[in-house]
Structure 1
Amino acid sequence: MNKKEWFEIATIIVIAGFIMFFHLGELPLFDPDEPVYAQTAREMIAAKDLISPRIYGNFWYDKPPMYYWLVAISFKFFGQNEFAARFPSAFFAVCGTLLMYFEGKSIFNNRAGWIAALIAATSIEYFYLGKAAVTDMTLNFFLTASLLYYLKEKYYITYISAGLAILTKGPIGIVLPIIIIVIHLIMTGRLIRLKYMKIFREGFLLLLVSLPWYFIMYYFHGMDFISTFLGYHNIARFLQPEHPNGTLWYYYIPVLAIGFFPWTIFLVQSVWAALRSQNDPKRETLLFLIIWASVVLGFFTLSQTKLVSYILPMYPPLALIMGWYIDKCITENILGTLKKAALIMMLFISLLEMGLFTIVSDLAPIFTNGMISTGIVFAIVLIGTWVMIQWEEYMGFFGVLVVGMVAFVAVLMTQLFPAAVPFFSVKDFVPKFQKHYDGEASLYVAKFYRPGFMYYIGIPNMEMKSREQFADLVAKDSGRIYFIIQKRRYLNLPISEQNKLQLIDSQEGMILLLKDVRF
């Protein structure tokens, strides 16, 4: 590699590394998802059983073990803390940007790969999930490797990576690659390529990597594992909504528009240019990337359970298409479209600035400084964009956006997220609870708070599953019970039932209640 390539690699590592690892362990785990993965890894370690995931002392068939294993290893090196729980995601996020760079420069050129890597690293959803103790970034890395190495015809890496994806999040690790690859082969008229993919000779690597854990789980847990893991957590969640308010068919359109910020301005024109690239020597590669992104979007749009994180596997192909497009515009001096995108960005940031300063007075005072700092960052980005347009320095415009997003991450992690902690984590509420809890009474915790509460205090508790359950427990005339629930659930009780409870303490929307027959 020459000096330029080393420079490109260094900038990706520095920028992506800063974004992913800056203040990684400074914030508590955010409810409800992050504590689930940390607590499951902790209980597997305590039980000396790294095969069967467990939480609250019970076996837990929600996800395969890959992320739990990674967190357990991280706990071994860094201790059982927030940094260690999030380290695997941050690590694979950085590795993912490097993978995009190396494969992007291989299938396009150095600058296209470099731009793609930095676009991914600085897009909101990518770095948010890269800083979270959840499975999505790990899955994204293995899926990206599987599909990019298919493109390069290194099939043994494709199969191994797909096997690791299956170990990370289940059948989706093979379902998505199969759909994407088959559609690509059909659309390019190259189904004959299946003969050369060594499906039987190298495909066994996928089975060798992924199946042993599933067979062992079936051996120990039988049909309970099959029906819960495959039946409920995969098939049922695809066919039936787990969150009824997220079933809108257009759910992922705003998610993508916001999650891909600030690069959303290039999204439509990049994909459109790729679709029209009839005479481009990279036409088949571009078609594959479009199929990849479209299948992910289509698959999870059809899924009845929708979560923001599900479309993360769209980001690598879109970033690569965008890297190709920006490089093409600069190389071929097609600067008009980049200028239009820059002007749209300026308009968007201007509207964002007005919005920030309009709502800042209506926010809780704890958010004021963070919102003002955010406004200053984007004001500087606005000025920088204008200057680069005047100078016709479009790589400079790209650099302004990258540096602006790095600065935004710094504001996010030092001002905005710390202010949001009382709304999204039980950690600061735990000392308040400990001050009042007698150590003997029953304890019921709302599902949203239960994982974090278990992680930070370790006291066994029962899940508050519904309003009806809460009302029944309050109506009973015997027993001493503590409740940690959402304040709105308490306020929904009739006044006569509220009078049976003592409001012990509160934190934003969370309250600690005591029902005592002596009260």
Structure 2
Amino acid sequence: MRMKLSVNRTVDQWFNKIGKNPALGLTVSILWLMVVGWIAFGWNLGNIGLIDETEPLFAEASRQMFVTGDWITPFFNGDTRFDKPALIYWCQAIAYYIIGVNEWAVRLPSAIAAFGLVCLAFYTVHWYLGKQDELEQVSRPTRRYSTSFMAAALMALNGETIIWARIGVSDMLLTGCMASALLCFFLGYAGKGGSREQGAGGAGGREQGEREKSFPLFPPHPAPLPLFNAQSPMPHALFPNKWYLAFYVLIAGAILTKGPVGIVLPGLIIVAFLLYVGKFLEVLREMRVLVGILIILGLSVPWYALVIWRNGWNFINAFFGYHNLERFTEVVNGHSAPWYFYFLVVLLGFAPYSVYLPASIVRLKFWQRSHWSSQERFQQFGLFAWFWFAGIFGFFSIAVTKLPSYVLPLMPAAAILVALLWSDLFQDKDTRQTISVSSSPTPPISLSFLRVSGWVNVIFLSVLSTALFNITQILGSDPAITNFHELIKQSGLPVIAGVIWLVCAVVVAGLLLSRRWNYIIGINLLGFVAFLIFVLTPASFFIDRERQLPLRELSAVILEAKQPNEELIMLGFKKPSVVFYSNIHINYLRFPQEATEHIQNQAAKGLQPPSLLLLAEQKKFLQMDLQPDDYKSLSTKGAYNLVRIPFKKKKNEKIDIS
């Protein structure tokens, strides 16, 4: 007991010290964000090859932009690629220009988007808690810094975020733009009546002075420029505040990243939130929506206009029709799932902290509309995070096409909700007793409810540990990796993973029994970091070695062996990474009979050189029934064969490969 009090006192003293020292507080915060960001997003980012099938599609389309200088129409393998708008391609092409065409450049935009979002969320949580302390006239640096640090860590260190922040596709860039836009909206919404309504003296001046003393990490907004103050011939009322401006710019970025969903989803969330708190018309006026619409259109429409002007209905039908409308109303590419699909995605994708989401949500009592409507704007932060979470979850649950990445934008809201749940535990004992319940936006946390969630945490970690111990019986086979299950067993990763989460379950149970509530979430975070370092990272290298390395090696062989104008056929599968690594156009054919007929047709044309290259899975290759003298084997890597098939003609000019 004495040790517990000593540790708590030391922690409180340390946070009090950084709370009173602006330079130290800023330095510690930056270091924390850098460490968390590097572990989650930077470490080994480009040390494994591109992952088929989606990532190389983006990487190659961006390389085509970089090489050809055509920044309007994306191309892959000679065909237009209208799946996504241009921003992700532009970002990757710029990264190619800076650091070269490699895996680091492909993934850098995703990693930067994730890191920027985490930093903005850290700022927002810290600002919110500082405002809360200011209202309650207390100083709680332990709570303020601990909760901010936790929110950043939870947002970065979860499976869903790490996966998409380390892959060069558009999902993390969309999440970065959309989630950052929502945070900027709330900062603009909650900050109304800030510096503009505070003079040099009076109550406003006193509030500003108190903030400078108590919460020095983030100084108050500077006074408005003379051009925009009330005495200016051009009143500031014509323009939205800087956070609303940032919101509009980020929405334009989301539209350029993934299309209409970039404005539809944030719009639905904000409209629902404002209607609920009864401030819809008021906020609409202060946001200067017409100015915002002009900003969004001015930034996003030019590319759409240019790509439509160049490609016409091909783009309209492919992008707006197939990749937007049909994905919402119909099953596209076989991506269907049951109604509870996203419950599983959130449970596992945000694990192990997802078990605390029910308590985080119920704690808000969001159904008490009159209570929330009477709160100060900044006090509605938790409610806003709930609308954010529920809006995205509900929207994509309604959509017919379902993919795990679709709910990635709700993960920041989930992290904020869980961090705010635990924020009550980071208060000094004496300041807890001085807080008026009426001034707090949410009622005090129920320890009985937290205890139940804690034991659910123990059960979940135990089940997760058991599943990982027996992962080979759960996973299906991978046709690209021979002896898949045996190789996993030999790696020892299932045992390491199971032990990590089993130890975490035991430690969490011990903390529950000893009533050390505030350490529980830290143990979950440490468990995930250990899982990332000792399991997920080695597993990614294992999968790359067994699944992707053979294709990169064959791409190198293709570059050496391919004769000028010689065609390359890929039979039975589509691996876009070969296009990226070989820089060669590939003709994809699905069936062996289709390949045989194509070879015969090409032979009849008398093409030069009189041969083609065939890259096929071994099973598909054997189904072609080629004789030893009908082809020349160039290389065999993993599950793939690379051969050269010469055109042998009979008198009737037909190829003889039987």
> 1:411 and 1:134 mapped to 2: Cα distance?
25
**Shift of the alpha carbon at 1:353?**
2.8
Correspondences of 1:53-452 after superposition (within 5 Å): 53-108=74-129, 110=144, 111-152=146-187, 153=189, 154-193=243-282, 194-276=284-366, 278=368, 279=371, 281=375, 284-329=380-425, 331=427, 332=444, 334-359=446-471, 363-366=485-488, 368-412=491-535, 414-421=537-544, 422-424=546-548, 426-431=551-556, 441-445=566-570, 449-452=574-577
Change (3 A) 1:108 1:474: farther
Match of 2:578 among 453, 462, 487: 453
Does the CA-based 8 Å contact 2:111-2:165 persist in structure 1? yes
Alignment match, 2:227: none
Change (3 A) 1:37 1:115: same
- For 1:443 and 1:228, the matched residues in 2 are separated by 27
Distance 1:162 1:72 in 2: 22
Q: How does 1:6-17 map to 2 (within 5 A)?
A: 6-17=27-38
| Mapped partners of 1:370, 1:435: distance in 2 | 37
Indicate whether 1:50 and 2:71 are aligned: yes
After TM superposition, the score normalised by the length of structure 1 is 0.89
Q: Using the TM superposition, name which of 76-85 and 321-330 deviates more.
A: 321-330
Percent identical across equivalent pairs? 25
Local SS of the residue matching 1:203: helix
Q: Distance in 1 between matches of 2:111 and 2:179?
A: 16
- Once the two structures are overlaid, the 10-residue window that deviates more, 23-32 or 66-75, is 66-75
Residues 1:32 and 2:53 are matched in the alignment? yes
More moved, 244-253 vs 505-514: 505-514
Deviation at 1:81, TM superposition (A): 0.9
Q: Is the 8 A contact 2:147 2:426 kept in 1?
A: no
State the alpha-carbon separation in 2 of the partners of residues 323 and 230 from structure 1: 38
Alpha carbons 2:245, 2:292 under 8 Å: kept: yes
Classify 1:365/1:5 alpha carbon distance in 2 versus 1 (closer, same or farther; 3 Å): same
Contact 2:425 2:517 in 1 (8 A): no
Q: Secondary structure at the match of 1:445?
A: strand
SS of corresponding position for 1:202: helix
Q: 1:183 to 1:503 in 2, by over 3 A?
A: farther
Whether contact under 8 Å (1:329, 1:338) holds in the other structure is no
Q: Classify 1:249/1:296 alpha carbon distance in 2 versus 1 (closer, same or farther; 3 Å).
A: same
Contact 1:63 1:170 in 2 (8 A): yes
| C-alpha distance in 2 between matches for 1:489 and 1:308 | 31
Confirm or deny: 8 A CA contact 2:335 2:402 kept in the other structure: no
In the TM superposition, residue 39 of structure 1 has moved relative to its aligned partner by 1.0
Instruction: Tell me by how many angstroms 1:32 deviates.
Output: 1.0
Does structure 2 retain, via aligned residues, the 8 Å contact 1:503–1:511? no
Instruction: Give the conservation status (yes or no) of the 8 Å contact 2:49–2:548.
Output: no
State whether residues 569 and 586 of structure 2, in contact with CA within 8 Å, keep that contact through their aligned partners in structure 1: yes
Equivalent-residue separation in structure 1 for 2:351 and 2:536 (angstroms): 17
After superposition, the C-alpha distances for 1:348-390 in whole angstroms (9 at most, x for unaligned) are 2233333333346993235523223323433443344345445
Q: Deviation of residue 339 (structure 1)?
A: 3.6
Q: 2:593, 2:390 → 1: CA distance?
A: 46
Cα 1:40/1:285, change in 2 over 3 Å? same
In the TM superposition, residue 166 of structure 1 has moved relative to its aligned partner by 0.8
Q: 1:477 to 1:226 in 2, by over 3 A?
A: closer
- What is the one-letter code of the residue matched to 2:350? F
Is 499-508 or 348-357 further displaced after alignment?
A: 499-508
Q: What CA deviation, in whole Å up to 9, does each residue of 1:172-203 have, x standing for no partner?
A: 11111121122222222323132222011233
Aligned partners of 1:333 and 1:289: how far apart in 2?
17
The CA deviation at 1:321 is 1.2
CA contact (8 A) 1:265 1:341 kept: yes
Q: Which residue of 1 aligns with 2:228?
A: none
> 2:45·2:166 contact (CA, 8 Å) conserved in 1?
yes
Query: 1:514 offset after TM fit, Å?
Result: 6.5
Separation (CA, whole Å) in 2 of partners of 1:101 and 1:477:
59
Change in Cα spacing, 1:403 to 1:357, as seen in structure 2 (3 Å) is same
Amino acid at match of 1:135: S
Q: In 2, distance between residues paired with 1:36 and 1:476?
A: 25
Contact 1:65–1:167 (CA<8 Å) still a contact in 2? yes
CA distance in 2, matches of 1:265, 1:31: 32
In the superposition, relative to structure 1, how do residues 340 and 212 fare at CA in structure 2: closer, same or farther (>3 Å)? same
2:458–2:509 contact (8 Å) kept in structure 1: yes
In structure 2, do the counterparts of structure 1 residues 424 and 189 end up closer, same or farther at CA, with 3 Å as the change threshold?
A: farther
TM-score if structure 2 supplies the norm length?
Answer: 0.71
Measure, in 2, the Cα distance between the counterparts of 1:447 and 1:267. Answer: 44
Instruction: For 2:335 and 2:619, locate their aligned partners in 1 and report how far apart those are by CA, in whole Å.
Output: 18
Q: Please report how far the alpha carbon of residue 52 of structure 1 lies from its aligned counterpart in structure 2 after TM superposition.
A: 2.3
Give the Cα separation in 2 of the matches to 1:304 and 1:31: 24
Query: By how many angstroms is 1:70 displaced?
Result: 1.2
Aligned length: 512
Q: Which moved more, 1:298-307 or 1:1-10?
A: 1-10
Amino acid aligned to 2:158: S
User: SS of the residue aligned with 2:400?
Assistant: coil
Distance in 1 of aligned mates of 2:362 and 2:641: 51
Partner residue in 1 for 2:615: 484
Give me the whole-angstrom Cα distance separating, in 2, the residues matched to 1:113 and 1:485: 52
| 8 Å Cα contact 1:63-1:168 kept in structure 2 | yes
Cα distance in 2 between the residues matched to 1:477 and 1:217: 36
Shift in Å, 1:258: 0.9
